């Protein structure tokens, strides 16, 4: 996944202020033109606690109308929230990366909030 220099600079500046811990891990989001990925990361131990994307095999079972990307992002948010609740994670820090809080990123965040994550 290759990002432009401008997006890398935005990501680095934002990442300096956002750190996930075991009590409050970081929800990191990456989006491409075709897929969207979400990871729950504990930065203090450098471990990924949970991950889900539209590219995973479980997601392929969903039938979406016209390949709607916002509804797909909402499903990813809801599923990542379910995975967190199974691991007793209720509080997270949302890391939107270099992307604006709009469209697919916003839909993912709202999907995660509806299934019990607080951020």
5-13 long-range Cβ contacts below 8 angstroms, 24+ apart: 6/98, 7/98, 8/98, 10/97, 10/98, 11/97, 11/98
CB count, 10 Å around CB of 68? Answer: 11
The residue among 106, 47, 58 whose CA lies nearest residue 82 is 58
Percentage of the chain with pLDDT > 90? 58
Q: Mean pLDDT across the chain, nearest whole number?
A: 88
pLDDT in tens, 49-83: 999 999 988 888 877 777 788 999 999 999 999 99
CA distance readout (Å), 22 to 3, 10, 38, 41, 48: 28, 25, 17, 9, 11
Confidence bin at 1 (pLDDT 50/70/90) = low
pLDDT at 38: 96
Per the CB < 8 A criterion, the answer to whether 84 and 114 are in contact is no
Summarize the confidence of residues 1-22 as an average pLDDT. 73
Delimit the domains of the chain by residue range. 22-114
**Res 14: pLDDT:** 62
Domain 22-114 indexed as CATH 3.30.420.100? yes
For the cut 90, the answer to whether the pLDDT of residue 106 exceeds it is: yes
């Amino acid at each position: 996944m290759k990002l432009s220099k401008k997006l890398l600079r935005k990501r680095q500046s934002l990442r300096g202020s956002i750190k996930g811990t075991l009590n409050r891990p970081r929800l990191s989001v990456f989006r491409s033109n075709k897929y969207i990925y979400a990871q729950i990361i504990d930065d203090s131990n450098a471990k990924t606690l949970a991950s889900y994307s539209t590219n995973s095999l479980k997601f392929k079972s969903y039938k979406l109308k016209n390949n709607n990307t916002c509804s797909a992002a909402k499903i990813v948010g809801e599923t990542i929230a379910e995975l967190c609740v199974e691991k007793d994670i209720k509080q997270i820090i949302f890391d939107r990366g270099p992307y604006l809080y709009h469209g697919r990123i916003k839909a993912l965040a709202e999907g995660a909030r509806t299934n019990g994550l607080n951020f």
